[in-house]
Amino acid sequence: MQVKSSGLRITLYDHAYETFAIQYLASTLKKHGFSTEVFFDCSMNKDYLDQDFFLTNVLSLLPDQLARGILDTNPDVVGFSILTVFYPEISKIMRCLKSRKPELIIIAGGPHCILAPSQILENPDIDFIFRGDADISLPMFLNELRSHSIEDIKTFSSERLPGVANMFDGKMIDRGFGPLLENLDEAPFPEKDAYYKKNPSLRLMYTASCSRGCIFTCTYCNSNTLRKIYKECNQNYFRVRSVENVMEELRYVKAKYKPKYIMFLDNLFASRKEWLRKFAEIYKRDINLPFFCETNPNVHTTETIDLLADAGCAIVQFGFQTPNENVRREILHRYETNARITELVKRAKERGIFVCIDHIANLPGETKEHLYEALDFYSGLRPDWINLGFLQYYPRAEIIDIALARKALAEENISSIYRGEGQTSFRLVSKSSLGMFYRTLPFRFFSAFKLPPGLGKRINKLIDSSATFSRLVSSFASVFIYASRIFFAFTDRRDFLVRHHIIRNLYVVRIILMEKYLKYAG
Ligand code: B12
Ligand code: SF4
């Protein structure tokens, strides 16, 4: 079968959030002259899937409704970016697409394709996957598709189809990893119009990316896995755009979309002092909008925190994960000290920045003592917010071996991790031996870092001593935490993220009700 040689139509699917991969690939394909659409699925954020089945079902389009929406764009090729946790959901959409239009070519990329290619290619609905960056390899692939049959392409060499893998004669043809775009300034600015057209509230907060990859070695993180993979190919996965290029984008979007805030979604924002110094000066002068950034404490000092504050940083999010230095070093391979994080948080707060800390619970070998230690530490540190997450195992992550050695995982859990079914969400974690403790943990954390220290300690003691109070907390903690986060968002001017989240989701509700119960009903 050969796809029509001219007018090849590509639709890229995106969901819930604005995915940079899709936004950059869409603009790259347009630059290469391909007719490209983005189908933006506004369903309720699917990372809540496991948290609230009721809301997700009511506020998500069904896979067949999504397939119909995608097919309305009349594509020859449909592309998906797959995060591990979303693979089961996405495969349902693919199934519906293929059953409605068997000749459709389905391609996929993103972390799960890179990490679990053979498991993904077992899915007969997927024709090709892309491993690694596709800024260079996707246009090459589509050019081949313009002039060759898909059966021919399936046998092509890695010179013609770098980074592409597919099944042929029952075997996986693995062509390695896609070449990296070494100079990120060469990428066109990401596609935003399709997103803003569908959900106009998104234009209030422009999301931007100044870098790709990371230099650190955290055992639970994909970026570390990718860094190692590309190192083996003698390529440097961590790349940073020039300040000039970032500013050119921001000046353009400021004039075009008039955003109120900027959200920088890098793994490692401003990892180099000279870059940040230049950024701070030009950003303040030309952009001057409050911004959010996420970064690693190891690349910052009080001096760079000052630069962030001078530039107009309103919210900074530090990956920290646990205050137990041994656990952090031995299990997570993170080498920052508590002294450093304390110094940075203090300085950022003094400079008026809203400080969020990431904490990961349910680490291999975690005990109640570790959690009490964390409560104590946070009650002294007093960040403005703590994002409490529960460890999620991703394929090929080093922490899998550590967890196996410490018997926190069993061999039989591994295949479900590779199938994208290994979620350790709050619901599942709460069934573990520390279950009750974990169920009360969000409230315990909240009491420790947000309430006056004496009160926080008393509440934590009460949870320990009274089974009734503990049950009450575990039942109502999430509602309470959400409500208080909303309260703080509307009383703390800097916390624009949550305010934006609420506005965005109000639009989402309207869009979904229209699409689910009117446009694609029946
Ligand atoms: C920015 C970011 C976010 C942002 C934006 C979301 C997004 N999906 O872009 C926010 C904060 C919203 C976010 C949220 C989440 N994220 Co996130 N995020 C990132 C981060 C830091 C950078 C991604 C990025 O922008 N890269 C820049 C783009 C251009 O590069 P890329 O994604 O690698 O894509 C290239 C290739 O992979 C390939 N490609 C990708 N997709 C496709 C599709 C096709 C068709 C093709 C051909 C090629 C292709 O080509 C692209 C261009 O070269 C990564 C870390 C990382 N190193 O990737 C984590 C990461 C992707 N996130 C991750 C996770 C788990 C999440 C959450 C599930 C967390 C949570 N529980 O809430 C949510 C899910 C949100 C969602 N619905 O997608 C994990 C995924 C792990 C995994 N194995 O799946 C990562 C890898 C971090 C980690 N922990 O290791 N995230
Ligand atoms: S610093 Fe962040 S992005 Fe980098 S390896 Fe660690 S967790 Fe991943």
Q: What is the pLDDT of residues 209-250, one digit of tens each?
A: 999 999 999 999 999 999 999 999 889 999 999 999 999 999
Q: How confident is the model at residue 5 (pLDDT cuts 50, 70, 90)?
A: very low
Please, are residues 443 and 463 in contact by the beta-carbon 8 Å criterion? Answer: yes
Q: What band does 1 get if pLDDT is binned at 50, 70 and 90?
A: low
Same-fold call for 5-174 versus 205-439? no
CATH class of this structure's domain 5-174: alpha beta
Q: Where are the domains of the chain?
A: 5-174, 205-439
Q: What is the mean pLDDT of residues 162-177?
A: 96
- pLDDT of 238 reads 96
102: pLDDT strictly greater than 50: yes
Q: Which two tokens stand for residue 398?
A: 């080093």
Using left for φ > 0, alpha for ψ between -120 and 50, and beta otherwise, residue 297 falls in: alpha
Q: Provide mean pLDDT across the span 42-46.
A: 75
- E strands, 277-363, are 291-295, 313-321, 354-361
Instruction: Say what the pLDDT of residue 431 is.
Output: 66
Beta-bridge partner residues of 476:
none
- Distance from the first to the final alpha carbon of the chain: 33
Residue 481 confidence (pLDDT) above 70 = yes
Answer for the pair 78, 70: CB distance below 8 angstroms, yes or no.
Answer: yes
Sheet containing 9-15, strands listed edge to edge, beginning at the edge strand earlier in sequence: 35-41, 9-15, 77-81, 105-109, 128-130, 164-168, 171-174
The arithmetic mean of pLDDT across residues 437-448, rounded, is 91
**pLDDT per residue as tens digits for the range 127-165:** 999 999 999 999 999 999 999 999 999 999 999 999 999
Q: What percent of the chain has pLDDT over 70?
A: 95
Query: What average pLDDT does this structure show over 104-128?
Result: 96
Q: What is the tens place of the pLDDT at every residue in 181-213?
A: 999 999 999 999 999 999 999 999 999 999 999
Task: Mean pLDDT check: name the lowest of 273-282, 393-402, 513-522.
Answer: 513-522
Q: What is the pLDDT of residues 342-377, one digit of tens each?
A: 999 999 999 999 999 999 999 999 999 999 999 999
* Lowest pLDDT segment from 125-139, 313-327, 467-481: 467-481
Residue 461 has pLDDT above 70, yes or no: yes
Instruction: Give 168's Cβ-side CA count (13 Å radius).
Output: 16
Provide the pLDDT for residue 49.
43
**Could you tell which of 83, 142, 429 is best to mutate to test the pocket of ligand 1, judged by most ligand atoms within 8 Å of the CB?**
83
Give residues with Cβ within 8 angstroms of 402, minimum separation 6.
Answer: 219, 331, 364
Average pLDDT over residues 77-97: 94
Higher local confidence (pLDDT), 16 or 87: 87
Ligand 1 binding pocket includes 84 (Cβ within 6 Å): yes
CATH fold of 205-439: TIM Barrel (3.20.20)
CA of 224, closest atom in ligand 2: 5
H helical segments located in 179-301: 193-198, 222-232, 243-257, 273-282
pLDDT at 52: 58
Minimum-distance ligand to the CA of 358? 2
Mean local confidence (pLDDT), 486-497? 87
Angstrom distance (rounded) from CA 213 to CA 506: 33
Nearest CA to ligand 2 atom 2: 267
CB-ligand 1 contact for 345 (6 Å cutoff): no
Kindly give the number of the ligand 2 atom that is closest to the alpha carbon of 214: 4
Ligand nearest 17 Cα, by number? Answer: 1
Closest ligand 1 atom to 80 CA = 45
- Strand pairing of 239-240 and 211-212? antiparallel
Q: Determine whether the shortest distance from the Cβ of 221 to ligand 2 is under 6 A.
A: yes
Confidence tier at 74 by pLDDT (50, 70, 90) = very high
Nearest CA to ligand 1 atom 4: 265
Q: Residue of the nearest CA to atom 3 in ligand 2?
A: 267
In single-letter form, the type of residue at position 420 comes to G
pLDDT computed for residue 423 by the predictor: 59
> Quick one: what percent of the chain has pLDDT higher than 90?
79
Residue of the CA atom closest to atom 6 of ligand 2: 218
Token pair of 363 as six digits: 């680490």
C-beta of 223 in contact with ligand 2 (< 6 A): yes
Are 105 and 3 within 8 A, CB to CB?
A: yes
Average pLDDT, the chain: 92
Instruction: Tell me which of 212, 216, 316, 329 to substitute to probe ligand 2's pocket, judged by most ligand atoms within 8 Å of the beta carbon.
Output: 216
Question: Please, which pLDDT band fits residue 489 given cuts at 50, 70 and 90?
Answer: confident
Q: Is the pLDDT of residue 473 over 60?
A: yes
